[in-house]
Amino acid sequence: MSARLRFHGCYTAIVTPFTADGGAVDLARLEENVRRQAAGGVTGIVPCGTTGESPTLTEEEHASVVETAVRVGRAAGLQVIAGAGSNSTAHAVHLQKLAFQLGADAGMQVTPYYSKPSQEGIYRHFMTVADSSDLPVMLYNIPGRCGVAIAPETVERLARHPNVRAIKEATGSMDSASEIRQRCGITVLSGDDSLTPSFAAVGAAGAVSVVSNLVPARVAELCGLLAANDFRGALEVHMALLPLSRGLLSIDVNPVPVKCALASLGLDSGAVRLPLAGASPAAAARIQELVVAAGISADAAAHGAARAGAGN
């Protein structure tokens, strides 16, 4: 929780493992997943985000997931950015304080959803959260889920607060990412695996990744190559993963495809919780095809290997 925390590289938006019937969180599997991410060389993990099905977690489950992620992740050298957002400002403040108490390195705060606030409302919401705790804030800009986006000029205003340190840009908009970088020095992270190299080209420092649930070392490698300005090497890794990266966010709603893909690799993370439904047989077959085409073997995925059959 240092003020000198540097956001960079690959952060895995880690799934929340449930039991087969979805009735409980499988904390033992979560511990395994966190250790596998560390073995793959990612910078950090993001529990209780969109991929972690945060809206379906009880207060007690949310706390147990963050506590487990911090306890296991910190020991393995990972940063832990705890999802802490809500459409209620008071609840977002509560979750930010909880993340601080549980030892997270930062809290990820999503744009308030459903209410569709104005830019002034969005600004005041995030400023209230940032004022509530010394824990750094990563903004999470995902209008496809929330109905509203954080405008670049609002990001600029928010970035003046010393606790607002980074933004996960999941707008799918290069214009938005470019304008944010033009307006202020906040650290930008790509929120879409298919756009990670494009965002790097306009100054993004890394990515919050879904596909790294499957191949943490390959996405960590991609981010490292981009940071070193090795775009030729990065392009090779990116293109090999691109069909899978796109499929995980288009065949069905996230995290249905990634949980299906994990199961196909012997890394079953249990059911998705209602109102999400599991992948259809046709979708599951297509996801399996993309996993195979990306060269991901069960053994490589289980050990966080950079490439199929290889060590990290």
Q: Just list the catalytic residues.
A: 140, 168
Instruction: State the residue for tokens 């981009």.
Output: 226
E strand spans, 43-175: 44-45, 79-83, 106-110, 137-141, 164-169
Secondary structure (3-state) at 123:
helix
Distance CA 221, CA 11 (A): 12
Distance CA 302, CA 297 (A): 9
Element (H, E) at 223: helix 216-227
Secondary structure (3-state) at 11:
strand
Give the CA-trace dihedral at 262, 246, 138, 275, to 10 degrees: -60
**Are the beta carbons of 312 and 40 closer than 8 angstroms?**
yes
Residue 92, both tokens? 């977002």
